[in-house]
Every structure is written in C-alpha cells, then in structure tokens.
Amino acid sequence: MKVDDVVEGIFSGNRRALARAITYVENEYPESKEIMRKIFSKTGKAHVVGLTGFPGVGKSTLVSKLTEEFRNRGKKVGIIAIDPGSPFTGGALLGDRLRLDGMDSRKPLWTDPGIFFRSMSSRGRAGGLAAKTGDVVRLLDAFGFDVILVETVGAGQSEVDIIEVADTSVVVMMPETGDEIQVNKAGILEIGDIYVVNKADLGGAEKVERWLKYMLSLDEESVQMLSQMTHADEARVASGEFFERRKGWSPPVIKTVADRGEGIKELADAIEKHFDYMKETGLIEKRRKERIKRELFEIVMNDVMKLVKERTNYREIIDMTLKNEIDPYTAAEKIIEEVLKNGKKGQ
C-alpha cells in the first residue's frame, strides 16, 4: 500500500490500512517515518493504559475483561499485547490474543469493529515493550480509539518502560508472590498509578493488599521527609521528580478475580478517575512532555549514531584506542568533532 492510501485509510477507519501501517512501523520500513509525520497532528486524544506485572498474574485476562467493560461504556478500545521474542532465533509465540473472550457470548470481542487487537514481539528487547510500541500507540490513537490498552511482556522487577508510553500504569500482582520486602524493592512497584491484586479468590490476597497499602503509606512518608530535608539536595531533587509523577494521587489497591469478572468495574472506574485527575491537575501534560523529551533524545541519538557511522573515521579512531595511542574519552571527543565538521556535508 502507498503512504497516502495508508494515511487516508487510517483517517477513514480502514482496519486493513491500520494493520499495514503497524507492520511498516514495526519493521522500520522507509515509509514509516512519512506515515508517522502525516498522522501526528491527529494524535493525543486517547487514554493510554499500561498493564504490567509478573508472568502469569492474569494481565491478558484483565485486558479482555477491561475491553468488554469499556465497550459497554461506549468506548472504542485498541489493544497492543507484547510477548517475548527469542534473542536466539528471532521467533516468538504470541499468545495473548487467545485470552480475548467476552463473558457475553452474544457480543464476541474478536469480531467487534470497536476493538482492534495487535500482538507484538519484543524481539529480544529488555524493558517489557517492543521497540516501536510508542509509534503503534500513536497509530491506534489517530485511528480514533478512546482507550488504548498496552500489555507488557510478563515483567520481572525492573521492566518499567511502560511509563514511557502509558498515561495510566496498572501494576498487577497476585497472592503468594513474595513478602513485604519484595513490594518495597525499587522498580516495577514504584511505577503504579493503580495496583491490582488479581486471583483474589486465592488465599493470601488480603496479605498482598495490606503490604501494598503499607508500601504506599511509606511513599507518603518519604515525600514528607524529603520535603523537610535541608541538605542532600541532589537526593531530594531526584526523588522529588519521582514523587512528582504522582502529585497528590494516592494509588488505589483493587482486588479482582479477572476470569469471573469480579472487581473489573471498580478497576475501570479507577482508570477513568486517574485520567480525569491527570487532566484536572495538568499532570498529563507534564508526563507527556517528559515522554516527548525522552523520545526526541532517542531519535536524535539514533540520527547522531548514524552520522558517526557514515561521516567519521570511527574505525581508525577505534584502532588508535586499541593501540593505547589515545584514551576512550579523547577518542569520543575526536568523533564528535568530526561529526560537527562533516555532519552537514552533502545533505
């Protein structure tokens, strides 16, 4: 398909065009930049909701039930489900879609035109997302979905990339996944705007709920303490930025039994409430600005690296470093000098 047909198709609700655009973007086809340029002005309306958590806690089932709930509320739902791709063979078994099943068999989710589901492979990338997740979110946004659910790879303890694409991050836990030290470790449990204890019909759900609430109360105390400190400015600035992410929002802890649909309404309510809160307080702009900054820096980095490879004698400089003629810092300065000198040539 040609770029203009794809873009026109996305604006006029053609699923095939959307599906093809995602393929172009995911595989970094030359057309993809042009497509992203042309759809960008139509983005920024959707509520992007990320779901993350350990493998097997029920993320896909929650996505299915939330999709059904948001459909009942009249919203169109786009879904991106990411599963791990093998770093060895490049292959992947993408098995999130098969959990997509409604409670109401008269309204099958698979053929609902108000739903678009796309499976993506992480292609060996760490962090819980596929490399082009952000751009795929924008394509769904431009197509007109009200809510976009992004399900991460079953994450370990530090896969926190989801905050780079989601307005609302939902961290999913289940009983018997550790003690209160686990919930106080840094990483995935710092990023939640909403916490879910799924499989709450299993024993031990109250314990996890209690620990999460305790952890969140310690967060509040940390904010208090840091605001009173007069020295250790750097620590305060760094943590301040982290707590600023929430800005007065106390993350709720919600118990669900996803496969029976229990707690799903409450979760959907909390997700909507968080979106409203972010809009009222201006937090959403702040987060999106941070995100654009990160994204721009990444694009600039990639483009600069391309210039390094195309316009400098980096191979020679590497050899000089190898022979101990110059040190790596001087080598890097030389490369940057050459980029600045040669970067504009022949463009």
Partner 1 sequence: MEKKIRVLVAKVGLDGHDRGAKVLARFLRDSGFEVIYTGLHRTPQEVAMAAVDEDVDVVGISLHSGAHLALVPKVINYIREYGGNPDEMLILVGGVIPTDDMEKLKEMGVDEVFIPGTPISEIVEFIKTELPRKRMRNESR
| Binding interface with partner 1 (CB under 8 A) | 14-16, 19-20, 22-23, 27-28, 85-86, 89-95, 97-98, 108, 110-111, 116-119, 121, 123
Least distance to partner 1, CB of residue 94, Å:
5
Amino acid, single-letter form, for residue 60:
S
234 burial type by CB count under 10 A (0-12 exposed, 13-18 middle, 19+ buried): exposed
Q: Which residues contact 224 (CB under 8 A, 6 or more apart)?
A: none
Closer residue to partner 1 (CB): 6 or 283: 6
> Between residues 123 and 288, which has the closer beta carbon with respect to partner 1?
123
Nearer to partner 1, 49 or 139 (CB): 139
- C-beta of 92: minimal distance to partner 1 in Å? 5
Closer to partner 1 by CB, 100 or 200: give it.
Answer: 100
Integer Cα distance of 137 and 268 in angstroms: 20
Residues comprising the chain, all counted? 347
CB nearer partner 1, residue 121 or residue 256 = 121
Nearer to partner 1, 117 or 211 (CB): 117
CB of 113 to partner 1, least distance (A): 9
CA pair distance 144, 46, nearest whole angstrom: 8
Q: How far is the CB of 99 from partner 1 (least distance, A)?
A: 8
**Residue 142 CB, nearest distance to partner 1 (Å)?**
16
Shortest Å, Cβ 187 to partner 1: 28
Count of CB atoms situated within 10 Å of the CB of 209? 18
Residues 6+ apart with CB under 8 A from 186: 158
Q: Is 244 exposed, middle or buried (0-12, 13-18, 19+ CB in 10 A)?
A: middle
Instruction: For residue 169, give the H/E element and its range.
Output: strand 168-173
- The smaller minimum CB distance to partner 1, of residues 105 and 230, is found at 105
Pairing relationship of beta strands 147-151 and 253-255 according to DSSP bridges: unpaired
Q: How near is the Cβ of 77 to partner 1 at its closest, in Å?
A: 13
First to last CA, the chain: 28
